[in-house]
Chains A and B, each alone.
Chain A
Amino acid sequence: MITIIRKELADYFTSIRCLILFLLVFVASAVALYAAQQGMRGANTESGFIFMGLFTVGGTISLYTFIALLVPVIGIALGFDAINNERSTGTLNRILSQPIYRDSVINGKFLAGMITLAIMIFAAMLLVGGYGLRMIGVPPGAEEIIRLFIYFVAVVLYGAFWMGLAVLFSILFRSLAISLLCPLAIWILLGIPVSVFNPYISFIVPAVTDSLGTGLILLRLSPYFLFSEATAALLDPLFKGMGMYTGDTTGMLLYRPLSLDQSLLVVWPQLTSLVCLTIICFAVSYIVFMRQEIRST
């Protein structure tokens, strides 16, 4: 399997696709940095987490928003042709006639994609963090670093879900176009209503939540929503979760940051759900791939 990871990584790093994705991430980081610079002064710094503001300040063009937007695209872009491309070029049956297990092909590709994704996100965060540090001159506290790291893990998990989904479609469909469009359609479908409902994009503690309720349960099936909730809580200590209080009680909430472990408690179910969704995608991929015919024609 390590051989496959090695080869896939080499493929990714020399591909134009990855170059474009890296450029995209780089541009996003630059824009986010600019937004942070503009918004930092007026930002809410009462919580005492100034460094983290670099990632969240700037509203729709903050790194936080960009990452939420880009990660599914990167995940899909890395995974949508994983299997069917090999099948159409005829390399799949050549590999499978070698003494390896079938699942190591999927695993290898998936892990290589994850490594690529992790490098991209890590680079983006370091870029913003590093330049931001020069800009604002406030070093991050230990808690901020831990929060950011957990955020990073959540992002990779989120990317893993989308890549898993894309890999599943690449197993199901022989045509590259279909296996690209299907996960993209799902992404858009899940993304649109959430951004209509979801007031967190602007990163303000929600004022109105009572209209949700049963809708919230449905929303929580969507990885998009799970991710926004999880990362909101991770990056904003003031965020105390959703659905636990109604509009009437919002005013009664204490305006005080949660400690790290409390924040983690808030996001734990969301992270678990994300992992679950990824595992489901993967399980289906395995089963389908194991039973599939491997023909050259």
Chain B
Amino acid sequence: MDKKIVLETQDLTKRYDGNTVVDNLNLHVAENEVFGLLGPNGAGKTTTILMLLGLTEPASGSARIFGFNSTREPLKVKRLTGYLPERLGFYEGLTARQNLRFIAWLNNMSDEEAERQIEQVLESVGLTEVADKSVGKFSRGMKQRLGIADVLVKKPKLAILDEPTAGLDPEGINQILDLIAGLPELGTTVVMCSHRLYEVQRICHSIAILAKGKLVVEGALDTLGREALAEGRYRIEVETDEPSPQLIEIIGKISGVKNVEAEGNFLHITTDSDLRAAISKVVVDNDVALIQVKVREFSLDDIYKKYFHEG
């Protein structure tokens, strides 16, 4: 199933004083997914985002969001896109509601629509109670929530979030991640930058890893994991009591099984496809007590480490 691509960059490049910060970047983000942009500090993530929004001009290449060129038609892009900067600032003298209202007005919302929308987003980020307090008195986490409300108030088709969970407590992180994960259902595609890999793993469908301005890898999270660590194969772990050498031999004969290794009570089986059913049947047929069979999942941590060891 081919999904519509909403964000696309072609050989996007940015140089500062001769340093190439973003180097021929080609990204593709499909509609209604959560896309994670990863990379160490200084990898060029923020610069890429600024170019996507037309806030910085690329040295060469182009970015298109919903088919609009970010450099030439920034207004159309910005109408559809919400951006949460890494360091967010609000008018400290104004209340949360006034800050949001200003943004709603800048987006040409009518008064009633703005009020309705503000009420709704304040509720979804859990700030309804403090909506009329001035932002200067907000804690870091409250500001972060307000930042997300700020992105959502304009009902963007694409939300670009730079470190959306920075400064939040664990409970807040969960709440915000759930909120972000729910956005695609409401018709908002999300691109998020984060250093917390488990967050990305939890909610992102696809990721791209950047290093020194170059794209290291891009793709859907589940396939990436297999490609990164097992050359595209499945790794199945079988726990039994006392695996016999014959069993290993028999399993090795199942079509699709590439390799079987024993390690204590565990068998590590590398296969071309998900053969859990066949393997467990063989184990049981050979009168060996089967304790568990599972496909080893790859954590993003593994993927990340793998690429940065090689790089």
Contact = CB atoms under 8 A, between A and B. Distances in A.
Interface of A: 3-4, 6-7, 11, 14, 86, 89-101, 293-297
Contacts of B46: 295-297
A182 to B, nearest CB: 24
Contacts of A91: 89-91
A3 B106 contact: yes
A90 B55 contact: no
Given A11-B93, A101-B75, A93 B85 contact: yes
9 contacts: A14-B93, A91-B89, A93-B83, A95-B106, A97-B53, A99-B75, A296-B85, A296-B87, A296-B88
Sorted from nearest, which 3 A-B pairs have the closest CB atoms?
A90-B89, A89-B89, A97-B83
Interface residues on B, range: 20 to 34
Given A90-B89, A101-B75, 5 more contacts: A3-B106, A7-B102, A90-B85, A94-B88, A296-B162
A98 B103 contact: yes
A94 B89 contact: yes
Contact of A296 (B86, B107, B150): B86
B154 interface: yes
Interface string B28-60: 000000000000000000100010010110000
B55 A297 contact: no
Contacts of B154: 98
Contacts of A293: 50, 55-56
Interface in B45-100: 46, 50, 53, 55-56, 75-76, 78-79, 81-83, 85-93
B105 interface: yes
Contacts of A294: 50, 55-56
Contacts of A93: 55, 83, 85
Contacts of B102: 3, 7
A156 B198 CA distance: 59
A297 B87 contact: yes
Contacts of A296: 46, 85-88, 162
Interface in B104-147: 105-108
Contacts of B88: 90, 94, 296
Contacts of A96: 55
Interface in B260-274: none
Contact of B55 (A4, A6, A86, A97): A97
Given A11-B93, A91-B90, A294-B56, A98 B78 contact: yes
A112 to B, nearest CB: 14
Contacts of A3: 102, 105-106
Contacts of B76: 99
A9 B25 CA distance: 43
A93 B75 CA distance: 14
A94 B53 CA distance: 11
A18 to B, nearest CB: 13
B107 A98 contact: yes
A99 B107 contact: yes
A101 B103 CA distance: 14
Contacts of B103: 94, 98
Nearest to A3: B105
A294 to B, nearest CB: 5
Nearest to A14: B93
A293 B53 CA distance: 12
A90 B105 CA distance: 19
A102 to B, nearest CB: 9
Contact of B92 (A89, A99, A101): A89
Contacts of B83: 93-94, 97
Contacts of A92: 89
A86 B102 CA distance: 14
Nearest to A95: B106
B106 A90 contact: no
A297 B49 CA distance: 13
B75 A90 contact: no
Contacts of B106: 3-4, 95, 98-100
